[in-house]
Structure 1
Amino acid sequence: MNEKIAIIGSGIGGIASAIRLAAKGHQVTVFEQAGNPGGKLNEINKDGFRFDTGPSLFTLPGLVDELLSLGEVEPSDAFKYRKLDIVCKYYYEDGTVLNAWADPERFATEACEKVNEPVWRIHNYLRKMGEMYDLSADLFIFKPFARWETFKSDAGKKVARQLHKLDMLFSMHQRNKRSFKSKHLIKLFDRYGTYNGSNPYKAPATLNMISHLEHTDGAYFPEKGMYDIVRQLVLHAQKLGVDFRFNARVQEVLLEEKKATGLKVNGGVFSADRVVNDMDVTNFYKHLMPNRNLPLRLRLMEKSSSAVIFYWGMNKKFPNLDLHNIFFAENYKEEFQYLFRKKLLYHDPTVYVFISNKVTGSDAPEGMENWFVMINAPVNKGQYNETVMSEMRENILSKLNRMLKNDVASHIVSETIGTPLTIEEQTSSAGGSIYGSSSNSRFAAFMRHPNRMSRFKGLHFVGGSVHPGGGIPLCIASAGIVSEDIQNEK
C-alpha cells in the first residue's frame, strides 16, 4: 500500500529519502524552513562570487548516480563530475608541502621523498584501512546498526569473526603513531577524525578507515560545484512527484497513541501516514516533540565540533594552491584540547582553504578566486563575540600570510562570515554542531541515534545527526536504511 509521507528538512538525507520513497510509489512532501533546499550543503552568491557552504569533498559518487537513476522517469545526464588528481595539498609550519595524490603509488613516492616515510609503510597502512572498510562498511554504514537482526545478519557475523581488525582499543592517533615514523603523516591521517567532528586523540582507530575512500577509491568534484548535487537531486525528485514546500517551518510532530500522524506546519495541520525527520535530532526533540524528554543517549554523548568559515572573494589567482588545501597547526593535540575541553577557539588553528573555482572556472570573476576558509570550532556556548571573531580572523590571515609568503588580506574584495551561531540559525543544528554527536568514545557507534525509535511508530530519522553519521555518503546511506524499513513495515 502506498503511503502519504512527510519529510522534515531538505538536507541530503531528506532529499535522498524523498527520491527513494517516491520511486517506490509513495506520496512524498518535503517541508523546508529555508527558501531553498540543501541544508548545510548550500551556496552563497555575492559580488560575482559563488561559494559552496557545506561539504566540499565528494566521495562515493556512485551513491548519487544511483539516486539519479531511480524511478520510471527519464534519467538526466546533466550531473557531471571528475576524479581529482590531487585529493588535498598539505602545508606544514616547517615549510613542507605534501601533495596527497589520488594515485596511491604516487602519493607513497611523494611522501617518501618529502618526509622520508618508507613506501612500504604507506602501502601497508592503506591496505589495512581498505580491509577494515570492506569488512565493516556493510554493517556500520549501509545497515541499521545496533539491531539484533543486523548483528545476526551475514555482515554482522563476518565482523564478529574478525572483530580484532576493527582496532577499537586504540585511538586514531595511537594507531597512526604506531604506523608511521613521520610526524607529517601522523598529522595527515589524524585529520580524518574531523570528518565527523571528532577528536583523533580520543576517537577509536576504527575511524582511520575513512582515509581509504580518498586514498584508494579517490575523491571527485562536480563540474558545477557541490551545490549541483542538491540541484540535480531535487530536479529528479520533482520528476518523481515529490512536493517541496519551502519557507515551511514545522512546529510540531503530531502523535496519536505514540504513532506519528502528521505535522503542524506554519500554523496548519498536514496529515501523513509517516514522518521522516532530517533535522538535527537534539533540536528535533527540543522543538518538535515538546512533551517528550530528550533521549538519554543525546544527553550523554559529546557534541561534534562546529566551524568558523570566511567566504572570501579574492582579486588574485594563487596558482600554488589546489582545490583542497590544509594549513596545519604546529601543536595539533593542543588544538583539539581547545576544541573539546576548553570549548575555545585555538590561537593557531588548522586552516582549510577550498577553492571551487579551480575546477568550475565560473565561480569567480576572471582573474579571481573564491576562497572558502574554514577552521574547526567548538559548539556555541556563548563564547562567540565580536572581539573573539576579530582576533581569529587576524590569526588566520597571519598564518596564511606566513605559510604562503603573501599578503592575503590585501586581496580580499568580498567577505561573508559563518559561525556556529549562523549554522544553528540556518540549519537548526544544536549549538552549531555539524555532525550531531562526536565519536570521541569507542562506544559512540552504539550510542548514535537510530533510524527509527521503537516507542514511536511511523517516525523515522535520516541525516548527519543519526546513524550512520555525517557527510554526503553517510546521509545517503541513512535514507536507504529508512526506505528499507518503511518497505519492510508495510
Structure 2
Amino acid sequence: MKIAIIGAGIGGLTAALLLERQGHQVTIYEQHDQPGGRMQYESDGVFQIDQGPTIVLLPDMIRNVLKACEIPAEELDIVQCDPLYDIHYADGTSYTKYSDPARQREELSQKFPGELRHFNRFMTNMKDVYQIGVRQFLEQDFSNKRRFFTPANLHFLYKSKAHRDVHTYIGKYFTNPKLQHAYALQSLYIGGSPYATPAIYGLISYSEHVHGIWYMKGGYAGFVSTLVSYCQKRGIKLHCSSKVNRIRKSAKRVTGIEVNGSFAAYDSVVFNGDFPAIHDLLGEKKTAKKQPEASSGCLLIYIRANRKWDNLKTHQFVLPEQFEQNMRAVFESQTVPEDPSFYVFHPGSIDPSAAPPGDSALYFLVPVPSGNEIDWEQEQDLLAERVLDKAERMLMPGLKESIQWLKVRTPADAQDAGLYQGGSFGIAPSLFQSGGFRPQNKPFPVKGLYAVGASVHPGGGVPIVMQGAKNLSELIKSEVGNNAQKTIRESM
C-alpha cells in the first residue's frame, strides 16, 4: 500500500519503519521544520538539553520494538542510573530509590523501618500484575472493543483494582504518607493525577525498580536522529514544513490527504498527533459531545549554570509540604500551585559532555494545569522564581547567581506547537480514557484510517508509544492479510 503518516513524532517514525518492513511505500508529513514531536533539544548555542522526555524507562520494550524494525540493539545507546533518583520532602528529609534490591532494603530499613515488609509485598504482588498487564493490555489493540471486554480482562481489572486511583492503591501497601507519595507520583510521568489515575498505573513505580531508569547518551532527543537515519536508508520519504490540511475519504474509505493545499492520493493514512485534532482533519463539524480531558501541562525551565553541584543526581523530585493540595490545584481547581512540586534533570552527573567544562546543564519540570485558565505571560516568571528559590534552598546553593542562560516553556507554548490544550502527554490517563476506552489504532469505521501516538492506546511515554506503533503495524498486517484472503475467495 501507499501509506501517508501525518506527524514525525516518535510514534510516526516508529510506525513508518515497521510498515516499510512489511513492504509498504511510506511517506511522512511533518508540519514543523524538524521531526521528533515532543523530543527536541533546547540550546543556547553553547550546549543543548532535552526539551521534553528525559527519563528512559522499559528499555527491553524499546529494544523489542527496534528488533521488529530490524534496527540493531546497540543503536539504543543508554546507561543505567543507579540510584534511580532522590525524593526530597519539605521537612528536609529525603528518600532514594535504587535498582539494587539490597541497597533499596537498606534504604527502607534506615528511613522507614516499619515499611520494608510492605515494600516486599508490593514488589511480589506487582510482578504478576505487570506480566499480565503488558501481555493483555500494552501489547493488545482494542479497535474491536470485544477484545477488551473479555472475561480474562475484566477479571484482571478487578484483581488489579483498576477502579481505584493510584494513590489509594499504593496506600494499601505503604502506611507512611511519604512513601505513598514516592510510589504514586509516577502517574505524573504520563500527565495524570495520582488521585485520579487508575491503579494499574502503579506498575510504573514497580517497573523502575525491576527494569531500571536509564539515560540516553547525548539526550533522549538524539534518538530521533537514529530513527530518521534508518528512515532515510530505507527509502521512507520525510517531508518537513508540510502541514496536512485535510484527510480525504469517500464512502467510508480513505482516498488521500491535502498537504500545503495540494491533494496526494494514498491507500491508508496514519494520524500521529494529539488525537482530538483528527476531527478537524476529517472536516467534522464540532458537536456538543464532551471534549476529552487533557493531561497536565508543564512549566519547563532550561538553564546553563557556571558551576557544578557534585552531590546532585541525574534525576530528583522535590515535593511540597501538602502534596495532595498541590495536585488538586493542578488537576482540579486549575490554579498555579503556591508551593510547587518539581523534577530536576541534571545530566552532567552521568554524562560529562552534557555541558561545557565547569558548567551545569539543568532542566526543571513543574506540573501545572493545561487549558486556557491561566495567563502564562503574567504567571510564568513568578512561578519560575518560586521554583528556583526552592531549588537553591533545598538542593543547589548559589543556583540563581550562577545562571548564564535561562529559557522558560509554558503550556501556552505547547498549545502553539499543536499539543492538545497545552497538555504535555496527550489526553489524560483517566479511567475512561484508558485501555478500551482510549482512542485506538483504528479509531473510526473508515477503511485505511489509523492513529498512533500518546493520545492513542496504550498511552503516553516513549516506550509505550513505540509499542503502540508496533500494535498498529500488526493490525495493518492482519487487515492486509484478511483482505488478500477475501480477494482470493471472491475470485474462485
TM-score by length of 2: 0.92
**1-structure distance, mates of 2:429, 2:64:** 29
Q: Are 2:119 and 1:122 aligned? A: yes
**1:314-365 residue CA offsets vs partner (Å, 9 max, x unmatched):** 1111111111110111111111111122111101111111122322322211
Alpha-carbon distance, 1:455 to partner:
2.3
Q: Which residue of 2 aligns with 1:272?
A: 266
Alpha-carbon distance, 1:441 to partner:
3.3
The match for 1:24 among 22, 25, 29 is: 22
**1-structure distance, mates of 2:261, 2:279:** 19
Instruction: Sort the Cα spacing of 1:443 and 1:305 in 2 relative to 1 into closer, same or farther, 3 A.
Output: closer
Alpha-carbon distance, 1:146 to partner:
6.2
Q: Which residue of 1 aligns with 2:139?
A: 142
Alpha-carbon distance, 1:308 to partner:
0.6
Q: Which residue of 1 aligns with 2:339?
A: 348
**1:76-119 residue CA offsets vs partner (Å, 9 max, x unmatched):** 84442122211111111111122211123322320221233432
- Greater shift in the superposed pair: 118-127 or 34-43: 118-127
> Is this contact kept in 2: 1:280–1:429, CA < 8 A?
yes
Alpha-carbon distance, 1:24 to partner:
1.0
Instruction: Sort the Cα spacing of 1:444 and 1:79 in 2 relative to 1 into closer, same or farther, 3 A.
Output: closer
The match for 1:325 among 316, 320, 323 is: 316
**1-structure distance, mates of 2:203, 2:299:** 26
Q: Are 2:81 and 1:84 aligned? A: yes
> Is this contact kept in 2: 1:168–1:442, CA < 8 A?
no
Q: Which residue of 1 aligns with 2:381?
A: 390
Q: Which residue of 2 aligns with 1:93?
A: 90
The match for 1:185 among 158, 164, 179 is: 179
Q: Which residue of 1 aligns with 2:353?
A: 362
> Is this contact kept in 2: 1:169–1:442, CA < 8 A?
no
> Is this contact kept in 2: 1:5–1:275, CA < 8 A?
yes
**1:282-318 residue CA offsets vs partner (Å, 9 max, x unmatched):** 12323x122344694xx35422101010101111111
Q: Which residue of 2 aligns with 1:400?
A: 391
The match for 2:282 among 281, 285, 289 is: 289
RMSD: 2.1
Instruction: Sort the Cα spacing of 1:140 and 1:466 in 2 relative to 1 into closer, same or farther, 3 A.
Output: same
Q: Which residue of 2 aligns with 1:205?
A: 199
Alpha-carbon distance, 1:62 to partner:
2.9
Q: Are 2:473 and 1:480 aligned? A: no
For residue 305 of structure 1, what is the amino acid of its counterpart?
S
Instruction: Sort the Cα spacing of 1:67 and 1:146 in 2 relative to 1 into closer, same or farther, 3 A.
Output: closer
> Is this contact kept in 2: 1:350–1:375, CA < 8 A?
yes
Alpha-carbon distance, 1:439 to partner:
2.7
**1-structure distance, mates of 2:443, 2:435:** 16
> Is this contact kept in 2: 1:71–1:240, CA < 8 A?
no
Q: Which residue of 2 aligns with 1:450?
A: 440
- Greater shift in the superposed pair: 114-123 or 322-331: 114-123
Match of 2:184, SS state, is helix
> Is this contact kept in 1: 2:65–2:467, CA < 8 A?
no
**2-structure distance, mates of 1:295, 1:60:** 39
Mapping of residues 178-257 of structure 1, within 5 Å: 178-257=172-251
> Is this contact kept in 2: 1:189–1:211, CA < 8 A?
yes
> Is this contact kept in 1: 2:123–2:206, CA < 8 A?
yes
**2-structure distance, mates of 1:201, 1:468:** 20
Q: Are 2:367 and 1:376 aligned? A: yes
**2-structure distance, mates of 1:20, 1:481:** 10
**What number of residue pairs does the alignment pair up?**
480
**1-structure distance, mates of 2:153, 2:24:** 35
> Is this contact kept in 1: 2:148–2:435, CA < 8 A?
no
**2-structure distance, mates of 1:168, 1:60:** 21
For residue 229 of structure 1, what is the amino acid of its counterpart?
F
Q: Are 2:130 and 1:133 aligned? A: yes
Match of 1:86, SS state, is coil
Instruction: Sort the Cα spacing of 1:447 and 1:382 in 2 relative to 1 into closer, same or farther, 3 A.
Output: same
Match of 2:354, SS state, is coil
Q: Which residue of 2 aligns with 1:334?
A: 325
For residue 18 of structure 1, what is the amino acid of its counterpart?
A
The match for 1:61 among 44, 59, 62 is: 59
> Is this contact kept in 2: 1:203–1:442, CA < 8 A?
no
Alpha-carbon distance, 1:442 to partner:
6.0
> Is this contact kept in 2: 1:139–1:145, CA < 8 A?
no
TM-score by length of 1: 0.93
**1-structure distance, mates of 2:384, 2:155:** 50
**1-structure distance, mates of 2:31, 2:366:** 27
Q: Which residue of 2 aligns with 1:262?
A: 256
Structure 2, unmatched stretches of 5+, are: 481-492
Instruction: Sort the Cα spacing of 1:24 and 1:294 in 2 relative to 1 into closer, same or farther, 3 A.
Output: farther
> Is this contact kept in 2: 1:144–1:450, CA < 8 A?
yes
Alpha-carbon distance, 1:251 to partner:
0.9
**2-structure distance, mates of 1:461, 1:103:** 39
Identity fraction in percent:
28
Q: Which residue of 2 aligns with 1:429?
A: 419
Alpha-carbon distance, 1:164 to partner:
3.2
**1:247-278 residue CA offsets vs partner (Å, 9 max, x unmatched):** 11111111122211111111112211100011
Instruction: Sort the Cα spacing of 1:76 and 1:469 in 2 relative to 1 into closer, same or farther, 3 A.
Output: closer
> Is this contact kept in 1: 2:59–2:211, CA < 8 A?
no
Match of 2:304, SS state, is strand
Structure 1, unmatched stretches of 5+, are: none
The match for 1:105 among 102, 106, 125 is: 102
The match for 2:296 among 277, 281, 305 is: 305
**1-structure distance, mates of 2:101, 2:143:** 34
**2-structure distance, mates of 1:130, 1:107:** 17
**1:33-78 residue CA offsets vs partner (Å, 9 max, x unmatched):** 1111110011122141211111111122233334444467x84844
**1-structure distance, mates of 2:394, 2:69:** 50
